[in-house]
Structure 1
Amino acid sequence: MAARAPPTQSGEFEDLKRRASVALLVAALVATAGPAVIALVAYQLRRVRTALVLLVLTAVIAVPAAPIAVLAGRTSIRRRQRRRPARRGTACNTAAVTRVTRSAHHRGSSLVLR
């Protein structure tokens, strides 16, 4: 596997940060859910003490993993929601222009938008 060059553009760096936060979120989920699933299987196999130990282990792992997962999820969502403001004449403004034009037409006024 070839070594990757360091990211030079801000878009590459933002993508790298987003991928790192998603990886952290998945790692926290796996670290917490793994022992819980094993505890469930152990309980089904009538290994009650093993299931209880694994449930305690799940709780011990979940305490620090929950804030980390929340933080990683927030940063990932914030990066996806960050967008540039719409410019005049773009698809975002077309619906508002159409509403204004239609309402002016229904009132009988002659409104011209530029």
Structure 2
Amino acid sequence: MIYLKTELKDGKKLKVDVYGDEFYCLCPGCGKEVHLDDEMVKHCASDGDFGSTSFYCKECTKKRSITLGFCEFQQKNIDVLTEAFEKVSGKPLRTELYNALDTYNQLIYNYLSDLEESEKE
């Protein structure tokens, strides 16, 4: 039998039996309670760290996958543009192109951050 053991403030020790379907965590995106299925529990057990592991709820997972998909897409664009910029012969123009790309990426990052914050409210 697996159980949790903790000591209360008055010094008494408490043991609580734990069953496989009794594992939960709070979604780090919205704070909603998430029930951990067997695969999630296996991940925690193999990783060896239940205390700092969290899982996103279905809704936040969907939102994050859209953002991450866009970021991966954007990174591919950056890689292509960086390669193209290396072929530009004039150093001042190449520097100007890098600065423009960096500014563009920062604007996208700020927009996505603002969007994420507004969805939390």
Specify the TM-score bucket, using the shorter chain as the normaliser. Answer: 0.3 to 0.5
TM-score w.r.t. length of structure 1: 0.35
Rg (Cα) greater in structure: 1
More helix by share: 1
